[in-house]
Amino acid sequence: MDFFIVKFLSSLVKVLDTLSGRDRITKILQYGAKILSYFLERRKQFLNKHLLEATDAMILMDKNLFNFSKQNNLISIGLNRTQKFESSISDARKVFRFFKSIGSLLDVYQFFIKVILPNYFSRFLKQNGANTTTNQKTVVGATVSPPKIKITDFLKVIQKILLSIYILYDHASWFAKVGLFSDVKSIKAKTIWQRLFNNSRTKDYSDYACKMWFISMIFTVLADLFEFIDVFIDEIKLLNEQLDCLRVDGSAIDKSEQQLKDSLEAKENKMRDITNRKNQITRNLIKNVADLGVSGNGGFKVWNLNNAVVGFCGCLSAFVGLYESWPKP
């Protein structure tokens, strides 16, 4: 038992050493507090229903009503503290996301340099009669022979752009909340900078951020679905190849036992890789669909979920991410 605890704590320390690990654990705390606040709110409503028509004299005389009154006061205090805790954790996670958009924008830049430009120059050379198959010249750090562009690549690039905009609005929300922008009210603002960067627009920044997050999650889920379909097609093809190796008929090519064994072993390794990819995409789908549920509840208000459902979705996404970053034995 002691060995298990030490091993668990060692893994936890490794996770906490990373920024993503700390963000996922604080995300569990944030959305766990949201679930707790839902049940406290429900209990408070139940108690208020019984105390609504009761007078002060009845509360003092009736033991149950007196206990209800005490519980109601304690739950109000607990609910207030839980909401403050959730808000503080949310602000802390905004700090964790500082400069996170730089990585997404670099990925977009690399996509255009390594994928879009080679394809553009390849078409340009073909139109001018250049032989791109034999002449592999280098263009902006990549060969003229262009990499194949998939629809998932475009979906991921759009998602990264939207995610970067979401993070920028998220930063603006935090800056406005701590009072780093102009204190002049938007109506009385004299310059465009005072209108754009204004401490009174905290809610506007949060709404814009949530809208960008929701749209980016739609593209993320679509990319995951296309990747899952591609992996499923690869799996079917590989299963057919394995059957072809095992099929023996009059037209089959004779193979030695060792050749057949090597071929099957290579295909088993490929199948193992495909299974790992499929499991990874499945986890991504669960995590991203859960985040889609959270993001759709704010900004555009696509649906109106209670705090328990939102908290469950947030915790589910965090636990899946924590599982992926947990050190493997």
Position 57 scores a pLDDT of 52
266: Cβ–Cβ under 8 A, 6 or more apart, which residues? none
Q: How confident is the model at residue 257 (pLDDT cuts 50, 70, 90)?
A: low
Assigned token pair, 299:
């900004």
pLDDT of residue 296: 94
Q: Average pLDDT for residues 27-50, to the nearest whole number?
A: 91
- Can you give the pLDDT at residue 125? 63
Contact 297, 303 (CB under 8 A): yes
Q: At 113, is the pLDDT very low, low, confident or very high (cuts 50, 70, 90)?
A: confident
Find the Cα–Cα–Cα–Cα dihedral 217, 218, 223, 226, rounded to 10°: 150
pLDDT at 329 > cutoff 50 = yes
Which pLDDT does position 252 carry in this prediction? 45
Residues 6+ apart with CB under 8 A from 168: 101
- Within the chain, residue ranges assigned H as helices are 2-16, 19-51, 56-61, 63-96, 100-111, 117-127, 151-177, 192-196, 202-246, 257-295, 307-325
* Residues 172 and 205: beta-carbon distance below 8 Å: yes
Q: C-alpha distances in angstroms, 309 versus 8, 93, 171, 286, 304?
A: 29, 20, 26, 15, 10
| 251, pLDDT greater than 70 | no
CB of 91 closer than 8 Å to CB of 147: no
pLDDT number for residue 137:
44
Residue with tokens 């064994």: 261
Cα dist from 67 to 47, 49, 118, 194, whole Å: 10, 14, 74, 53
Q: Which pLDDT value is given to residue 63?
A: 52
User: Average pLDDT of 246-268?
Assistant: 63
Exposure letters 54-73 (e unless 16+ CB within 10 A, then b):
eeeeebeeeeebeebbeebe
pLDDT tens digits along 302-316: 999 999 999 999 999
Q: How far apart are CA 67 and CA 62, in angstroms?
A: 9
Q: Which two tokens stand for residue 177?
A: 């909340």
Structure tokens at 55: 């007078």
